[in-house]
Structure formats: structure tokens, C-alpha cells
Structure 1
Amino acid sequence: MLLTEEAMKTAIILKMLSALEYDVFDPSEVIPEFTADVGIKKGEKVDYAIRVGGRISILIECKAPNAPLDLKHASQLYRYFSVTDAKFAVLTNGYDWEFYTDLDEPNRMDRRPFLTFNLTDIDTTSASELSRFRKSVYDVGAILSTARRLKYISALKTRLKEEFDNPSDEFVAFFGRQIYDGMFTANVRQEFAPLVKRSVSEVIRDRVNARLKSALLQNTTEAPEEDIDLEEKSEIETTEDEWDGFRIAVAIAARVIDPSRVVIRDQRSYCGVLVDNNNRRPLLRMYFNSPTTRYLGLFDGEVEEKVAVKAPVDLYRYADRICATAEKYKSAT
């Protein structure tokens, strides 16, 4: 675990900026400890400012690793947003990331982020939106065109998760009244609360199972990577580190290809990450079974090359090579 804010900046923030194609060694492009000329309290600064096309475009404020992100402790972001040309502000602790803009009022940073994700649990939608911040494709208009939709979808998803985990009286009553014939009293609502929660869980489970069944049927058309019987297959367990590595691989590959094309396929000796669920298109392999010695298999050359790594976050050190591999499959069908 990273212990200091400075270590986090070096190990995660700068590598993330590099993966987004910004030159972290050019202080005119990635400006550390940025201070504005006017309208700012003396000595106040933000951790990084990113200049794109000669203008300050993105502000980044870093907090201690795993510290809760609270805008009360990032007031300088608000002030800098209003006195610079920046259209986007980022608040992060290295793992959790929040992206802000000015959808509600011009030149005034919104209170609610339009994009949030955890780097160790990033989904394909967030990875795709993050890829829009790459230097080579950076387009303020294109990002803003989806920011409003993302902002409210994110808020709705958060609210729905809360309702699914702990259904409110209103949520229970909304569905209960549609199927209960009598008076929907407080006692009836109390009876329905666990039923609604269980029903939500079963609907989600059924939909996940349907997707898995569809994926398994699709896999039967692919050549098997290893001849593993069902008994051996059931013994394979994908670890949290392997899932973290997969999510990071998706985020990196999103610079080049649609992140939905990247899938995970675990094997007995390694955990593979494939493009198009095709074992002839390996993106990388994670040899994480040993608690002391770990390797990453890379495929940007003619044959697989194994390099030593310590943790999933080390994948960012090889972002360029992973992207080079993804580039080979970019136009594949």
C-alpha cells in the first residue's frame, strides 16, 4: 500500500498522465504545484495543471492515498477553476477519481462530478470516457457533450445502489402498491421490504447469469487455449489482484480500442487478458499465482516476454507496450 501522498503522485498520478499521452517530463505541459497569477490566496496552489494547445485545460488536486474525497478540503480547485481557462478539474487520492466541469453555471465548478471511478474497479464505460482525455484526441466539446448525461447517470446509479441495498419506504411502496390488492399499510410495507430487496437481488442475478450463459455459448466457437477438464476448471479462482490487473489493462487499452473488446480468461498457470475473447489475440498474461514472484506476459513482440512485477498497479509501467499490442488488433474483426 502506498503510504505517502508524494509516493502516490509518482506511482499513480504521473503514470496515469503518461498513459493519457501527456509528457510528464515537460514542465510546460504538466505543471506541478501550479499557482495562478491573479485572484488566488497567497501561497495557494493545485498539485498539477495540464496545458493543452497552449492553454491551461485540466486542474488536478491530489489527496492522501485512500483518504475520502471531500470538496470541503479542495476549495482551491473552485477558486482556480474560476480564474483560469481550465474546463475540467480532477480530485483524486490515487485510487478514487472525480472529474468536474461547469455544467450548472459557466466558469463555476459544479458541486457534483460528471465522472467517478475507482482505479482498481474501473468499468468499461468509465474507461472509455477516461480515454477521451488523451492528448491526441482531447476535445472539450466532445467531452462536454456527454458530461451532463454522465453526471446524472452517475447520481442515479448511486441512488439505485442505495435503494437496492436498503430499500426505502417509498421504494417499497412504489412496487408494493402495484401488486398488493388491499390497503398498503405500514405493516404491509414492513412485510414487503425484505421481499423487494430479495426480488431486486434475484433480478440482477438472473440477468448476470443470462449474460454469462451467452458468453459461454460464444466461447464454444473459439479454439480452446488449454485442454482443461471441468473438474480442473472449477478449481481455478480469479484473485482480487488479477481482477485489479484486468481493470487496469482495460483502462490502458481504452486508449487504442473499445474497452468492451477486452475480456479476462483465467487459466491454471496464469490469468489471461484477451481482445475479442479470442485466444489468438492475447493482450497480456498475469502470472500472479506465486506470493513472492510475479510476472507480466507482454505480446508487443513476436513472442511473449515476461517481466517481473510486484503489484497490479505496475501494469502502468508497461502502458506503452500494452497499447502497442492492442494496436495490432485494432482493425481485427
Structure 2
Amino acid sequence: MENDLKLKLEQLHQRVAALKDQIHTEEATKNAFVMPFIQILGYDIFNPTEVIPEYICDIGTKKGEKIDYVIKKEDKPILIIECKHWKENADAHNSQLHRYYHVSKSRFGVLTNGLVYNFYADLERPNIMDDKPFFTLELSNLKDSGIKILEKFTRNGYNLEGILDSAEDLKYIKAIRNEFEKELKDPSDELVKLLVNRFFEKPLTASRLASFKEYARRAISNSINESINFRLKNALNINEKNPSKQEQREVAPIDENPDSPKLITTEEEIEGSQIIKAILREVVPAARISFRDTQSYFGILLDDNNRKPLARLHFNFSKKYLELFHKGKDNGERKLLASLDDIYQYRKELLATVSNYQKNSEKEQLNATL
């Protein structure tokens, strides 16, 4: 169920990325992006007793107020959904959803622009929607932990008690994580003093505090990068054998900071490789798609074979390039990327690369039988 749900969401993300520039209204956003999402959750969008569009919800003296969608199960509302145009910020329009929430009798509300889905509950005060979501799903950044949470909202997996049991944990873990990430980017005076006072006995003057803030930022960054890099090497089965002659010619500049790791797989490289993997899974099993990181590029290979490159990500410099091999493995073609979403523009070329390898393999097998 989990893998099937993730695959469908990945396909929806490809659809969103390909169509969004042609979607000019909120209504079109609902039809093209949000309704398919509801359908992926298993609800019958053509059954007006299960998925009710433009649900009338009178609020005090205001009559005829409408919620974009109400999802019912056993004739009880379990989810209300308010939609915005995909260009709008999904975090900036929860006042309308907040008004609808307390009269809908649903325990959960969703605010979405078709790209980001914010899930709300009433953890702080009964029947009053919280100001902040307890769970956010981004189609462009799908995570296994998020897929497991979303499973509890599906038609077959809906579990009110299970969601409520974990919602508070999710809410405060998310809040703590947000604060932690702020500290990673810009350590606060409080954190720096807490750490430095454990080993530095001299008075912490303003100038010293400024220096220690920079030391703390670099120390935290190096520690996190080394930890992530170590785990990614194992998770992605990165091969660190001697580089090929081609790789030796493409040596990256040496980092002047001796404390930084020599090989760091970045989040952008991971996200880019996952986009390529999602595209290629249309024609080849995921198990046959592997990754290797080098100092010059992040490689995507077929069957973990250096002679079968599917693509390479050149993200080590200010400009980012996707290298394609649809014309043959010795004729790499670089394409400038303005954003990671641009990778979807080269779907045909990526699929053509797989097709070329498959045709060559069939020829080799035929020749071997002759």
C-alpha cells in the first residue's frame, strides 16, 4: 500500500510540474491537481455522497458559505479541504478554513494549493482549528514518514484514533525541528553561550561571542554533513573505487577548508536523482536504477554499471546541469537547469537512454545465439 501510494503521488507530481504553467485559475487548480489527489487517497470523486464539492456551510449570519470539498465516511464528515491557486502560498490563507472548521464537525482540515497540503486539527482547543498544521505534505519532497501518515487518511486506511494519537507528537516534533533548523543556519546567542560555557572559562565578550557564533555554525554544518554523507554512502551504495579516466579529467576544485568532507552528497542531488528515478520507473524496475557520487558529478546508472550511465547531475557549481546520454554513452549532452523541476522536460531523452541500452542488450543476446 505504501509503495503504491508513493508511486501514484510521484506520478501526480510529474503531472503538476508539467501542467502548472497552463493552470491560470483556482478552479483549474482544483480540477487538475486536487481532485486527482483525493482520488489517489481512494475516495470516489464521482460519488456526491462521499466527496462533496462546494459544500454549503452556514456560519452565523453568513448564509451560503461554501467549502471546496467535504469528504464523508459513513455519512460523517472526516475531512474538509480548502483550495487555492497553485501560485498562492498554502500557509497564508487558513482564516477561511478556520471559520469553516468549527461548524463542519470534521476533526481534520486541509489547506492546499495543489503542490503543498497542510493538515490541521484541534489539538489546542476542542472544535477550534489550530493555527499551525500538524502535518505538511509536499509533492516535490515526498518522504516515507509522510507517506505513512497520509495512509491513515486514505479511504481504506482511515483511522481517527490513530491520527489523533500521533497528531500531537507530529505537531511538536515539527515545531522543535523548525527551531533546530533555524539554529543550524544561524546559531542563536543562547545556544552559543550554552555550548561555549562548557569549555571556555574566560568572559564571553561581544566580539568573542560573534567569533564563536561563526565557529558554532561551521562546527554544526561539518558535523551534519559528515553524518549525512556517511549514511548516504551506505543507503545509496556509492562506489568509491578508483575513478575512470573521464572522471580523473573532471576533477573538482579542492576545498580550501581542510575540515570539510571531500565528498558530500547534497539534498539537491538526492532530490534530482529521485525525480529521474520516478521517470525511469515507467519502463525499468527501481532495483535496476543505482547511484554513484563523485567529486565531479552525481551519477545515475543502469544495473550499477559504469558503462550504462542514465544521467549525471552536475550540481557542484553555481549553475546546475543535467547530462543526458540518449545519443550514446560517449556523447553526453549537458542541459542547463533553472530549477529541479526542469528535469521533467527531458523525460523523453531519459526514457530513450534506457530504450537504447535495452536494444543493445537484445542485439548482444541475439548475436550470442548465432
Letter of the aligned partner of 1:269 in structure 2? L
- Aligned counterparts, 1:202-217, within 5 A: 202-215=222-235
Gap runs ≥5 in structure 1: 221-227, 251-260, 272-287, 298-303, 305-333
- Quick one: distance in 1 between partners of 2:220 and 2:117? 29
Aligned pair partner of 1:174 in 188, 191, 194:
194
Between the aligned partners of 1:128 and 1:233, the Cα distance in structure 2 is 42
Paired residues in the alignment total: 262
Letter in 1 for 2:97: L
Per the alignment, residue 152 of structure 1 pairs with: 172
Equivalent residue in structure 1 for 2:136, among 109, 116, 121: 116
Task: State the identity as a percent.
Answer: 35
CA-CA distance at 1:30 after TM superposition: 1.1
Contact 1:269–1:289, Cα closer than 8 Å, also in 2? no
Matches within 5 A, 1:77-96: 77-96=97-116
The 2-side partners of 1:22 and 1:232 are apart by 54
Q: 2:42 aligns with which of 21, 29, 37?
A: 21
Task: Report the secondary structure of 1:190's partner residue.
Answer: helix
Taking structure 2 as the reference length, the TM-score comes to 0.62
Is 1:74 the counterpart of 2:94 in the alignment?
yes
User: Given the alignment of the two structures, is residue 54 of structure 1 paired with residue 75 of structure 2, yes or no?
Assistant: yes
- Asked whether the 8 Å contact 1:66–1:94 carries over to 2, the reply is no
Q: Give the CA deviation at 1:76.
A: 2.8
Aligned to 2:310: 269
- Opposite residue 123 of structure 1, the aligned amino acid is K
- Bigger-Rg structure (1/2): 2
Residue matched to 1:32: 53
Provide the rounded CA distance (Å) in 2 between the counterparts of 1:216 and 1:292.
23
The aligned residue for residue 243 of structure 1 is: 274
Greater relative contact order (Cα 8 A, min sep 6): structure 1 or 2? 1
Which of 45, 48, 52 does residue 66 from structure 2 map onto? 45
Q: Which residue type is aligned with residue 196 of structure 2?
A: G
Aligned to 1:281: none
Which whole-Å deviations, capped at 9, do the CAs of 1:214-268 have from their partners, x for residues lacking one?
Answer: 2356999xxxxxxx99549969x96966534668999xxxxxxxxxx9x975322
Deviation for aligned residue 1:39: 3.7
Counterpart residue identity of residue 201, structure 1: S
Once the 2 structures are TM-superposed, how far is the Cα of residue 130 of structure 1 from its aligned partner? 1.2
Choose which of 97, 101, 104 in structure 1 pairs with 2:124. Answer: 104
2: CA distance, partners of 1:24 / 1:194: 53
Q: Which residue of 2 aligns with 1:141?
A: 161
- In 2, Cα distance between equivalents of 1:294 and 1:127: 30
Matches of 1:23 and 1:94, distance apart in 2: 18
Please give the alpha-carbon distance, in whole angstroms, between the structure 1 residues aligned to 2:36 and 2:99. Answer: 27
Q: Secondary structure at the match of 1:91?
A: strand
SS of 1:180 mapped into structure 2: coil
Distance 1:232 1:26, change over 3 A: farther
SS in 2 for 1:178: coil
Q: Summarize deviations over 1:64-86 as a string: whole Å, max 9, x none.
A: 21312345x33232222111220
Change in Cα spacing, 1:292 to 1:201, as seen in structure 2 (3 Å) is closer
Q: TM-score, normalised by structure 1?
A: 0.68
Change beyond 3 A, Cα 1:120–1:29: same
Task: Call closer, same or farther: CA 1:290–1:13 in 2, change over 3 Å.
Answer: closer
Q: Displacement of 1:296 after TM fit?
A: 7.0
Q: Cα distance 1:49–1:79, how it changes in 2: closer, same or farther (>3 A)?
A: same
**Deviation string for 1:81-116 (max 9, x for gaps)?**
111220100011111221101111111111121001
Q: 1:291 aligned to 346, 356, 359, which one?
A: 346
Give the deviation of 1:158 after TM superposition. 1.1
Counterparts in 2 of 1:242 and 1:213: CA distance versus 1, 3 Å? closer
CA distance in 2, matches of 1:52, 1:30: 9
Is contact 1:176–1:189 with CA below 8 Å preserved after alignment? Answer: no
Matched with 2:220 is: 200
Deviates more, 1:15-24 or 1:237-246: 237-246
Q: 1:74 to 1:232 in 2, by over 3 A?
A: farther
CA distance in 2, matches of 1:6, 1:232: 54
- Please, which runs of 5 or more residues in structure 2 have no aligned partner? 1-20, 251-267, 282-286, 292-299, 302-308, 313-342, 353-357, 359-370
The DSSP-based 3-state class of the residue aligned with 1:15 is: helix
- Between the aligned partners of 1:151 and 1:290, the Cα distance in structure 2 is 36
Alpha-carbon RMSD across the aligned residues, in angstroms, is 3.5
C-alpha separation in 2, matches of 1:76 and 1:157: 27
- 2:28 matched to 1:12? no
1:35-72: CA deviations, max 9, x gaps?
1256472232111111112111101111121312345x
Residue 206 of structure 2 is aligned with which of 183, 186, 193?
186
Cα offset for 1:123? 1.9
